[in-house]
Structure 1
């Protein structure tokens, strides 16, 4: 059982474990794989498809973290990734 301190809400999950990182879920795995493949296949329709899949899966991961993250840290991480994606796309 955890206390309801700010530290606990920020870094602990429902089981009282401190959670900063987790095993990657499917959207994060898809993002990693498609991002790496887009570095190998650098032009054409396949590269465009890989970039769309990479962006879509990273957006999905960040959205899930923002609204379903196990603690405030994970939710903030999702928010920062979403903001970072927007800023990166606006500057490209």
Structure 2
């Protein structure tokens, strides 16, 4: 099989097209912390959840950027990482 740009962008090492994957632990933690932030909207618990959500999404993006299965997943990690940094610069 020819190794085209499409293949490097969307296929994993087994040749399967991989755009979405089941969530890993950092992504699960981010989802749960974000949902809890909607319920607990004030105080130190909310601040702790904010830090936990940011840290876990940062970890997920970093892992995708450097260990993503294809260029699409790595680009997704970069986009999320840049978005996180931009959101904190406001």
TM-score, normalised by the number of residues in structure 2? 0.97
Give every structure 1 segment of 4 or more consecutive aligned residues whose post-TM-superposition deviation is greater than 4 Å.
Answer: none
Show the counterpart of 1:45. Answer: 44
Structure 2 stretches of 5 or more lacking a match? none
Instruction: Provide the alpha-carbon RMSD of the alignment.
Output: 0.8
Q: Which residue of 1 aligns with 2:19?
A: 20
Match of 2:6 in 1: 7
Residue correspondences, number: 90
Long gaps (5+) in structure 1: none
- Cα shift readout 1:26-47 (whole Å, capped 9, x = no counterpart): 0000000000100110011110
Question: 1:32, 1:73 → 2: CA distance?
Answer: 22
Give CA deviations for 1:30-86 in whole Å, capped at 9, x if unaligned: 000000100110011110110000000000000000000000000000000000011
